[in-house]
Every structure is written in C-alpha cells, then in structure tokens.
Chains A and B, each alone.
Chain A
Amino acid sequence: MRVVGTQNSAQKLSRSKSERGFKMRNCFLGSFFALLAVLALAPVVCAETTPQAPSPKTPAAKAQPADAHDISGIWRMLGPGQARARAATVGGGASHPTLGNDRPPLTAWGQATWSQTKPSGRNSKLAYVFLPDQKDWNDPLFVCDPAGYPRTGGGNSLYRFVQLSNEVAEFFERDHVWRDLWTDGRKLPGNNAKPRWYGYSIAHWEGETFVVESGGFDGRTWLDLQGSIHSDQMRLEERYKILDHDHIEFSMTLNDPKAYTAPWVGPKQMMERMDTSDGVAPGIWGKKPDGTAYGDIREDYCVYSEEHSFWVNDNPTGDGDNFGNAVSGAQRK
C-alpha cells in the first residue's frame, strides 16, 4: 500500500496560521491513514470470527439527574462494547461501521451494486475487495462528495443535539452539516420525495428512548469505509436510550429491501457526554463563570482542492502526481 503526502502535509502544519486550513483536512486524513495502518498491520480481521459485540455495561452514573426527555449536548459515540473512550475524537475516519459487522445477505441488486465498490477500508466480510493501490479506490469521500447519513456519524464522530420547540437539531463536525429530527408530528414524505444525502427524519419519545425514523435517502452514499451500499429505499430507525445524565445507549436498524434480504440490526453502542469537543483548541473560548468550558464542536471539512492536491500532488494545478506520473484526478477514477 502506498501512502503519500503525509510528510509534506505534516510539514505544512508548522507554518503560518494562514496555512492551518491544512490542519483540519490533515486531521481527517491523518486519522484515516492511522486507521489504514492499523488495518494493514493487524492480523486479518475476520468479521466471521468476531463475535457480536456485547452490550455495553452501564457506566457509573454521575451525580446529576437526567432529564428523561432531553438529549441536548455534545456526545461522543464509543465503539461497540466500549464503555469509555479509548482515544480522543479523531473525526470522520469511521473506524468502525455504525451498523456493525453483521450485515445481512445482499439482494441481487445489492450484490451488483456492491461489486462496483473499491474501498480503502479492509474488512474481510464487509469489503467486496481490497485493492492495495490507492489509485484504484473509488470511495466517494475521496472526492469530498457528501458523506450522507449515517456515514457522517460513523466512527467516533461527535454529535451535538439542540432541542428546539419543534425538532431536535443534530449537528456534525464532519462537513459542518446538520439534520433536522422533526418532533412536531409531521410524517415522512412518500417515495416521490426528492432524495437527500441526509434524508428526511422525524422523531418521537418512547418512554426514555428518543426514536428517529428516516427515509428518502440518496442512494449514492456508502454506509461505511468498507463500501457497504444502500438503495434509495433505505429506511433507518435510530434509538437513543437515556441511561443517565452522561450516557446514552444507541442502536440503529437499517431496512432496505432493495439492497438487503433482511434488516441490518446494529450493535448497541454507548454515547458519552462531553463538555466540549476535544477537537476544539483548549481554552480558546475561556471559561464560564463556574469554571467549566464553553461547549463547541469543530469544523471538519473535506475540502476538494486540498484532497485533490493530496491525492494527485502538492501542486494544485494537477500536473503530475506524487509518483512522478502524469495523471489527473479525473483519470485516477
């Protein structure tokens, strides 16, 4: 596997403030390549032999009481089976698929669509193929197309929820986009609705669980780094069960009869509350009068001009590549 550009990008980080835009992009790609390195160096990770992640144990609740119907705040999604964060948030690298590894069998349509994927993420069960040369990969994120949902929330991304009178607004660090989770009683649109990268969503409370239903998705996005596909018939059900003030139990179920022969039921995963994103430089907003941090999440954009220069070469004119070959980004695909 050829990994290019990281040294040059790292050198740029130490330069002037005006060049620190590279830092955000590099943060995203850095985490991505760290993930690739882990996957490449690790023994073959056979999903078939990986048992279903156990339900996370309920962590010790903090002293603050939880409002059973309030999920406001900044939250970090932990990996399946994790009850505490093992590392700082690293952005949208999607180190693990939100829906887990127990993907149901594909339909014929799903199989044909999946066979066109050439992912960078190697997972023996979820990936159709692993091609070692990055020029062969066709992950739409490498040209900074919208990640869409649920991929934008994959891995150990951050979620910020703000409860408004008629909805819960969900904000993502990746690409600085948001979702409206409408709680005002509207119904999901029918099949003729214009497909959206982030779908249409409605939500309601079932006891202490916030339930989000989504549909109307654009079929072009991937669900994960491994290239799991979906169709425009995908429906999602997300369940956020409030455990205590600082913890939510999350699970997601995907229904897509055009692509899969059965529902894809994701594992239960823990979400933990954060005062502020660990991707925001500490102390830049000062402290509240009570000494706590002002909450904020970072921008984590995929920027095509930077991505292009990373994949092709360090010269944005696109003449040549990092391998000394004349090649353009369009030809790379």
Chain B
Amino acid sequence: MRIRFLGASIIALMAVLALSSVLFAQTRQQTGAQKAPAASNKPFDAHDLTGYWAMTNVGRPPGGLNTTSSNRPPMTDWARGIFGKTKTGYKELSSGVYPQRDWNDPAQWCDPMGFPRILWNPTVAGMRFAQTSDEVIQFFENGRVWRDLWTDGRKLPTGTDADPRWFGYAVGKWDGDTFVVTSNNYIDKTWLDQYGSPHSDQLTVEDRYRRTDHDHLEVIVNILDPKAYAATWKGDKRIFVLVDKPAGSEFNDFSENLCVWSEHKIQPKS
C-alpha cells in the first residue's frame, strides 16, 4: 500500500492495529482452560439444537489453538507448496513468523472466511441453530453469514457442475443423538485457520454436534482432504454453552460483526 503522507500513515497504522487486535482477540481469549461445565438437569430434546450457543475453552489446553486441533496430519507436496507461501504472525502451526506488513492472510482484506474458519476467526463468536422441516440453519455472528444444513434427503453435489462456494454445500442427518453434517465443494482460496493451513477443492468437512444436556453441546470438526493432507485431520471436542442471548447483544440477537474493507484499507498480498 503506497501512502505518501504522514497523516495517512498514522491513520493506516491505527487501522492495522485495530484490525490486528481483532485478529488476535481469539488468542487472548483462549489462554487458560475453563473447568468442565456442571451438567444441567433440565429436560431437553437431544434432536433439537435450536438456540444461541457460545464457544467455551472447556477441556482445551492453555493457549489452545484457533483451529480444529493441533494434530494436523502431514501435508502432501501440493499442500506444502501452498503452505510455504503463507505468511502470518503466529508461531504455532504456521510456516514462520513474519512482520505484520508481510502477512498475506486473506482475512486482512475482508475476503470471506469460509467454513470452518468462521467458527474461530476473527473472534470466538457464537453460533445459532434454527430447525425447520427440511433443514437446520446455522447462523454465525462472525460475518453475519449462515449455512443451510439440509435434512430433506438431498445428496451432496458430486462431479464438476456445482460452483464452489466459500461455505460449501452441506447436508445433515442424525446418527443416534449426534447431528452429523457433511459438506463439500469449497472454494480453495480460504485458509482453514489463522495459521495458514491450506485446503484444496477436494475438501470435505464432517462436523458432529451432540447435545449432552440442556445447556451444553459437544462439537467436533473433522477435515478430510486427500489432495492436501495425508490423513484425516481429526478435530478436538469443543464445548458450547446455551445462552439466552449472545454476549454484547443490544437487541437479544447477534450483533453485526462484519469486516469492512474501507475501515482498514489493507491491500491484498500474494
């Protein structure tokens, strides 16, 4: 970004710092594991995920990573080629630590986060489920985006006809008391996390949701991408807690948490 005037430089610096504080927010919040939640005795329907759910750090180690787990499998040669070009400021799982001016995380210029990264970036934010007769709708506070998790019997698109999407195509089904979501046809430009973990257009995500009691939800996100990884990237178990309303809510709903390019004006880097 070419900025010629001192004033503009200061403004740009402030914008970068403001954005970086957002990008780092998760790291701050995830230091220190929380205690296991007390089980709720309230009656509940195990096949009803409706409500606002806030992610917790229960069961995760101090400084827990903002990705599905630390057990990332070995990358293929193809993925290593992609990963080697990523530049972030994080030590863990990244290809190296770079000064902020060199970061090329597409989130910096407000490109869509995509799934599953939207779960943990730019901040630990909530999700909400609503259920209808033909789908479960998954709303995310981050980016004010949603996913349709179709339960009406349709099959995932195969072949090459489906335009790839930032949030993919998803179908869901109940496996006992676990709601299993399978999704594919993702745009391969997104990172899986802030560390630059790449994926290909062959990515399939399996996310599993199990309501353990009225107030708690276990979530596991598994990543399958034979073009990018030598094995399935198995996700840690995350605990979400049911909340009456999202934290910081002004209207008993999700606040808007949108990335606005003109507030930061960071130009894309390759």
Q: Would you call A164 and B111 a contact (CB within 8 A)?
A: no
A193 touches B3 (CB 8 A): no
Q: Interface majority SS on B: helix, strand, loop or mixed?
A: loop
Report the minimum CB–CB distance from B262 to chain A (whole Å). 5
Q: Judge whether B111 and A304 touch: CB under 8 Å.
A: yes
Q: Once the chains bind, are B250 and A145 in contact (CB under 8 Å)?
A: no
Interface segment, one of B29-37, B62-70, B137-145, B206-214: B137-145
Which among B157, B188, B201, B255 is the interface contact of A285 at CB below 8 angstroms? B157
Cβ contact within 8 Å between A189 and B261: no
Chain B nearest CB: distance from A30 CB in Å?
Answer: 14
A286 to B156, CA, bound (A): 9
Number of interface residues of A (CB under 8 A): 52
In the complex, the answer to whether A284 meets B161 with C-beta atoms within 8 Å is yes
CB of A84 closer than 8 Å to a CB of B: no
Q: A328 contacts B137, CB within 8 Å?
A: no
A143 an interface residue at 8 Å Cβ cutoff?
yes
Cβ-defined contact, B251 with A200, below 8 A = yes
Tell me the residues in window 279-293 of chain A with beta carbons closer than 8 Å to chain B beta carbons.
Answer: 281, 283-286, 288-289
Q: Which of A75-83, A88-96, A224-232, A295-303 lines the interface with chain B?
A: A295-303
Closest to A193 in B: B250
CA distance A286 to B139 in the complex (A): 25
Contacts of B157 in A (CB 8 A): 281, 284-285
- Complex CA gap A144/B112 in Å reads 11
Q: B93-130 vs A: 1/0 string, CB under 8 Å?
A: 00000000000001001111000000000000000001
**Does A222 belong to the interface (CB within 8 Å)?**
no
A331 close to chain B: CB less than 8 A? yes
Set of chain B residues within 8 Å of A288, measured between Cβ atoms: 152-154
Residue count of chain B within 8 Å CB distance of chain A: 51
The 8 Å CB contact of B261, one of A171, A285, A289, A304, is A304
- Contact of A330 with B1 at beta-carbon distance under 8 Å, contacts A18-B188, A24-B163 already known: yes
Instruction: Tell me which of B19-27, B164-172, B233-241 binds A.
Output: B164-172
B165 touches A299 (CB 8 A): yes
Taking a contact as CB atoms under 8 Å apart, the answer to whether B267 and A318 are in contact is yes
Tally inter-chain residue pairs, CB-CB below 8 A. Answer: 123
- Residue from A146, A296, A304 within 8 A of B268 (CB atoms): A304
Q: A144-B110, A299-B166 are in contact. Are A308 and B268 (CB under 8 A)?
A: yes
Asked whether A198 lies within 8 Å of B267 as measured between CB atoms, the reply is no
Partner of A17, one of B155, B164, B270: B164
With known contacts A189-B250, A198-B256, A281-B162, A294–B152 Cβ distance under 8 A = yes
Residue in B112, B146, B187, B270 whose beta carbon sits within 8 Å of that of A171 in the complex: B146
Bound CA span A147–B107, Å: 18
* Docked complex Cα distance between A184 and B196 (Å): 42
Q: Does A186 contact B (CB under 8 A)?
A: yes
Contact of A162 among B137, B152, B201, B262 (CB under 8 A): B137
Q: Are B132 and A281 in contact (CB under 8 A)?
A: no
Per-residue interface assignment for chain A, residues 299 to 327, with 1 indicating a CB less than 8 Å from any chain B CB and 0 otherwise: 10101110011000000111000000000
The stretch from A48-56, A98-106, A173-181, A244-252 touching chain B is A173-181
Determine if B269 is an interface residue (Cβ-Cβ < 8 Å): yes
Cβ of A176 and Cβ of B109 under 8 Å apart?
Answer: no
For the complex formed, measure the closest distance between the CB of B186 and the CB atoms of chain A, giving whole angstroms.
Answer: 10
Chain A residues lying within 8 Å of B111, measured Cβ to Cβ, are 303-305
Contact call B267/A308, Cβ cutoff below 8 A: yes
Q: At the interface, yes or no: A212 with Cβ under 8 Å from chain B?
A: no
Answer whether residue A219 sits at the interface, using C-beta atoms and an 8 A cutoff: no
CB neighbours (8 Å) of B41 from chain A are none
Q: Which of B148, B167, B253, B270 contacts A317 (CB 8 A)?
A: B270
On whether the beta carbons of B269 and A317 are closer than 8 Å, the reply is: yes
Measured CB to CB, the residues of A under 8 A from B are: 17-18, 20-21, 23-24, 140, 143-146, 162, 164, 169, 171, 176-178, 180, 182, 186, 189, 193-194, 196-198, 200, 281, 283-286, 288-289, 294, 296, 298-299, 301, 303-305, 308-309, 316-318, 328-331
Measuring CB to CB, which residues of chain B are less than 8 angstroms from any residue of chain A?
A: 1-3, 106, 109-112, 130, 132, 137, 139, 144-146, 148, 150, 152-155, 157, 160-167, 169, 187-189, 200-201, 250-253, 255-256, 258, 260-262, 265, 267-270
Known: A17-B201, A304-B268. 12 other contacts (CB 8 A): A21-B189, A23-B163, A169-B130, A180-B253, A281-B163, A285-B155, A288-B154, A289-B153, A304-B261, A328-B1, A328-B2, A330-B2
